[in-house]
């Protein structure tokens, strides 16, 4: 059965001897991906390698291992991080091998969050400087080693393509040959960094390193983990959120061939079998009685009513400029409320976690955006100290914020405690969707006044659950969730009287979490929808109106001008076809988007054309910027057109792609993304398209029909042509 153990093809263990991890965890692993000309893996051992910091190791052959502090879930971060390191290192990119970082907040903590996390579109923003310094320090040591060997001035040497050259004499030494000597040198603190004009990799369209193995089935996601003598399990949690197991009748399930064990753990039931199918059919054959608990009568209508009531309270002031109340009375006042629903993540790779638990140790195979949290959650569930838990991270089949949580790891470990030997726990799509950590439902209340064609005052109040209270308590201070008000407190328009408030309102039973686009997803939607309503009231064109308000934001204004030109803004369109615009200053990127859409007589919406212009600062791998916007736009538009998680009697009604719909290829038009050249530091990009799509589409519908939708998903009945 050797072929079952496909892990051995792509994964081997390495002891990070020199790293001295604070957590005490000493195992990491190689990725099943490498540059095309990479030879077979050499034995894993940092001994004898040049390892000046946690990110770079160079062995005698010149093989350069770059340790990835951020996880790859499709956003292209592995390639971009490798490019940044290799740029300043002047490495031979063809000799670069990537490796997942092991859990360690100390070594691999995200400088913005302080913990090891991939999210909020900040991988490149957070690591831009530290990775360049890491690469430059290593290069300086290699140059110094060569210079010492040749007894020349280091300043007379240069580095390129994994080699040091002494220009006057033409002598050349490969990094691999310098590894020992460089390793004996002190690490410089402030190595000189390259000027952007001297970049040879950054800004060039570099082929992604993770994709070749994704064309032929070789890539190993966590769900593909295979261990000797492994069992397969799938689980059911209470259909009513928060319910517990009361009684399990497993008579029929136990008779199914391949079913090995029924595991009952307080709030879940799992069936363990020889393969997933046995586990699944076994689970279907169980007769489980649930104690439904306190949420048995929770309905979406009640949650909305409670949220609306909360949104009428004052909340907490998150930002205040000028005198907003006075400003509101001084001009032509307009009021509106916007509502966004709970959303599921629906990652293509369903939640899963493989656990090998022995009395003294726990090994975890999963794909996570939060490796250190997975480690601590597993340790707690297993009742083991942190240093007895090994986390094998994987390339992720879709994160979108779902894998910023570790609930699936806790459940899998609790199941594994009752199973002899390793067990892979896979959530069915239905279980994944019905027990997600949902994007909060939000209600945004806005009032503004217009004077002389401009906005005089702007009062904005966001109401919804706080993710940060649960997820990162220090980010909830003085009653304000910094994520919930992101892109509202720093909205792009030049308004003399402005106030932003926040009302925390927690829905019963529903756990909420980050979803692609995070806080700005809500705020940009409400702000940009309202801007169109203000423009119409002012008798202005939506692009022209925004332009007059963007006086202090030249980068966003330039993006708006470019997208208007590229999208043929202002050119005539047929009846019931409209263009809608959205601008956003979010995640350190400046993006303007135009969606062109048609609304048919039945209220169905057809996308016709999508155009974005983006200034994201230095575009590390420009094609990835384009790809992330294209994909993010589709992600956001999918939610705008279809996305809503509804609760009835404490149960999530949606279950699979039949009732939680996705945009498909036949609905997606051409998407043109124009990247603006910039010398500014890089901004974030992964979230941005998801934020841009919904308001631009809604405004296109507004232009096409005159109907000002104020809720998502789009209400087709409100758009249908009424007939007598």
Partner 1 sequence: MPTLKINGEDKSFDAPDDMPLLWVLRDVLGMTGTKYGCGIAQCGACTVHLDGKPVRSCVLAVGTVGNRAITTIEAVATTEAGARVQKAWLDVEVIQCGYCQSGQIMSATALLAGNHNPTDVDIDAAMAGNICRCGTYVRIRDAIKRAAGEA
Binding residues vs partner 1 (CB under 8 A): 1, 3-6, 73-76, 207-208, 210-212, 214-221, 223-224, 226, 232, 257-258, 274-277, 280, 346-350, 395-400, 426, 428-429, 623, 627, 630-635, 638, 656-658, 662-666, 668, 670-671, 689
DSSP per-residue string spanning 281-303: HHHHH-EEEEE-GGGTT--HHHH
Task: Kindly state the DSSP code that residue 240 receives in the 8-state scheme.
Answer: B
The span from the CA of 585 to the CA of 95, in Å, is 38
Contact 188, 141 (CB under 8 A): yes
Task: End-to-end CA distance of the chain: give it in Å, rounded.
Answer: 70
Minimum Å gap between C-beta 31 and partner 1 is 13
β-pair type (27-34, 96-100):
antiparallel
- Picking from 427, 19, 368, the residue whose alpha carbon sits closest to that of residue 232 is 427
Q: Report the 10 Å Cβ neighbour count for 569.
A: 19
b/e map 409-438, b = 16+ CB within 10 Å: bbbbbbbbeebeebbbbbbbbebbbbbbbb
Q: Report the 10 Å Cβ neighbour count for 611.
A: 26
624 phi and psi angles, rounded to 5 deg: -65, -35
Bridge partners (DSSP) listed for residue 295:
none
The span from the CA of 719 to the CA of 702, in Å, is 10
Q: What angle do CA 240, 241, 243 make, to 5 degrees?
A: 70
Between 5 and 309, name the residue whose CB sits nearer to partner 1: 5
Minimum Å gap between C-beta 347 and partner 1 is 6
Minimum Å gap between C-beta 257 and partner 1 is 6
Between 320 and 667, name the residue whose CB sits nearer to partner 1: 667
Tokens of 331: 């001009």
The span from the CA of 364 to the CA of 353, in Å, is 7
Contact 593, 538 (CB under 8 A): no
Distances (CA, A) of 311 to 68, 305, 529, 645, 695: 42, 10, 18, 21, 21
Minimum Å gap between C-beta 656 and partner 1 is 5
Distances (CA, A) of 144 to 57, 149, 493: 17, 9, 51
Contact 136, 192 (CB under 8 A): yes
Between 171 and 214, name the residue whose CB sits nearer to partner 1: 214
Following CA atoms 207, 211, 216, 218 in sequence, which dihedral angle do they give, to the nearest 10 degrees? 130
The span from the CA of 557 to the CA of 168, in Å, is 50
Q: What angle do CA 17, 18, 20 make, to 5 degrees?
A: 85
Distances (CA, A) of 606 to 563, 577, 595: 20, 9, 11
Residues contacting 188, CB < 8 A, separation 6+: 137, 140, 141
The span from the CA of 663 to the CA of 657, in Å, is 10
The span from the CA of 275 to the CA of 426, in Å, is 11
Residues contacting 706, CB < 8 A, separation 6+: none
Between 375 and 624, name the residue whose CB sits nearer to partner 1: 624
Tokens of 680: 């500014």
Minimum Å gap between C-beta 406 and partner 1 is 19
Q: Side-chain half-sphere of 234: how many Cα atoms within 13 Å?
A: 24
Contact 485, 524 (CB under 8 A): no
Q: Side-chain half-sphere of 720: how many Cα atoms within 13 Å?
A: 7
- Picking from 85, 24, 84, the residue whose alpha carbon sits closest to that of residue 53 is 85
Between 257 and 572, name the residue whose CB sits nearer to partner 1: 257
Minimum Å gap between C-beta 71 and partner 1 is 11
The distance between the two most distant Cα atoms of the chain, rounded to a whole number of Å, is: 94
SS3 47: coil
The span from the CA of 324 to the CA of 447, in Å, is 10
Contact 301, 248 (CB under 8 A): no
Between 393 and 705, name the residue whose CB sits nearer to partner 1: 393
The span from the CA of 38 to the CA of 98, in Å, is 11
Contact 208, 624 (CB under 8 A): yes
Minimum Å gap between C-beta 220 and partner 1 is 7
């Amino acid at each position: 059965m050797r072929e079952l153990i496909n892990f051995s093809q792509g994964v081997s263990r390495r002891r990070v001897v020199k790293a001295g991890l604070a957590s005490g965890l000493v195992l990491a692993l190689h990725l099943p991906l490498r540059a095309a000309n990479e030879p077979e893996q050499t034995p894993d051992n940092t001994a004898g390698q040049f390892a000046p910091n946690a990110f770079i190791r160079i062995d005698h052959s010149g093989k350069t291992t770059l340790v990835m502090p951020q996880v790859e879930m499709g956003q292209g971060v592995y390639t971009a991080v490798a490019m940044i390191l290799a740029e300043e290192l002047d490495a031979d990119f063809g000799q670069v091998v990537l490796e997942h970082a092991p859990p360690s907040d100390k070594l691999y903590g995200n400088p913005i969050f302080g913990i090891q996390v991939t999210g909020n579109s900040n991988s490149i923003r957070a690591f831009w400087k530290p990775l360049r310094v890491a690469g430059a320090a290593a290069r300086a040591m290699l140059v110094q080693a060569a210079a010492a060997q040749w007894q020349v001035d280091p300043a007379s040497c240069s580095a390129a393509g994994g080699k040091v050259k002494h220009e006057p004499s033409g002598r050349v030494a490969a990094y691999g040959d310098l590894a020992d000597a460089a390793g004996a040198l002190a690490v410089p603190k402030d190595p000189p960094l390259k000027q952007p004009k001297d970049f040879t990799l950054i800004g060039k369209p570099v082929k992604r390193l993770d994709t070749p193995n994704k064309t032929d089935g070789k890539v190993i996601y966590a769900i593909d983990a295979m261990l000797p003598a492994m069992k397969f399990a799938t689980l059911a949690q209470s259909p009513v959120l928060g319910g517990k197991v009361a009684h399990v009748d497993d008579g029929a399930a136990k008779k199914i061939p391949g079913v090995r064990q029924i595991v009952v753990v307080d709030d879940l039931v799992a069936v363990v079998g020889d393969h997933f199918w046995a586990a699944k059919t076994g689970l279907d054959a169980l007769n489980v009685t649930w104690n439904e608990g306190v949420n048995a009568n929770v309905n979406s209508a009640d949650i909305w009513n409670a949220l609306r009531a909360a949104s009428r309270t004052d909340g907490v002031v998150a930002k205040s400029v000028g005198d907003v109340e006075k400003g509101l009375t001084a001009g032509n006042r307009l009021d509106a409320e916007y509502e966004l629903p709970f959303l599921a993540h629906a990652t293509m790779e369903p939640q899963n976690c493989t656990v090998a638990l022995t009395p003294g140790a726990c090994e975890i195979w999963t794909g996570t955006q939060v490796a250190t949290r997975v480690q601590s959650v597993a340790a707690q569930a297993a009742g083991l100290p942190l240093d007895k838990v090994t986390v094998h991270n994987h390339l992720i089949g879709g994160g979108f914020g779902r894998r910023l949580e570790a609930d699936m790891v806790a459940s899998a470990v609790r199941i594994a405690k009752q199973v002899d030997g390793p067990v892979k726990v896979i959530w069915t799509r239905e279980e994944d969707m019905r027990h997600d950590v949902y994007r909060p439902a939000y209600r945004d209340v806005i009032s503004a006044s217009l004077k002389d064609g401009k906005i005089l005052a702007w009062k904005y109040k966001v109401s919804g659950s706080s993710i940060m209270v649960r997820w990162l308590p220090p980010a909830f201070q003085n009653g304000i969730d910094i994520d919930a008000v992101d892109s509202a407190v720093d909205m792009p328009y030049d308004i003399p009287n402005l106030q932003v408030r926040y009302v925390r309102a927690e829905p019963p039973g529903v756990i909420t979490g980050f979803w692609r686009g995070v806080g700005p997803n809500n705020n940009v939607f409400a702000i940009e929808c309202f801007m169109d309503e203000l423009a119409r009231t002012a008798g202005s064109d939506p692009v022209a109106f925004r332009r007059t308000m963007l006086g202090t934001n030249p980068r966003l204004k330039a993006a708006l001008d470019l997208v208007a030109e590229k999208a043929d803004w202002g050119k005539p369109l047929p009846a019931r076809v409209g263009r809608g615009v959205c601008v956003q200053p979010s995640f350190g990127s400046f993006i303007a988007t135009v969606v062109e859409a048609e609304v048919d007589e039945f209220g169905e919406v057809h996308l016709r054309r999508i155009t974005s212009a983006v200034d994201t600062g230095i575009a590390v791998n420009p094609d990835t910027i384009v790809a992330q916007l294209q994909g993010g736009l589709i992600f956001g538009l999918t939610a705008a057109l279809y996305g809503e998680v509804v609760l009835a009697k404490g149960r999530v009604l949606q279950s699979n792609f039949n009732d939680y719909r996705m945009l498909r290829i036949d609905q997606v038009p051409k998407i043109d993304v124009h990247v603006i050249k910039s010398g500014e530091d890089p901004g974030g990009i992964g979230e941005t398209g998801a934020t841009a799509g919904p308001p631009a589409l809604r405004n296109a519908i507004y232009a096409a029909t005159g109907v000002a939708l104020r809720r998502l998903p789009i209400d087709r009945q409100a758009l249908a042509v009424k007939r007598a």
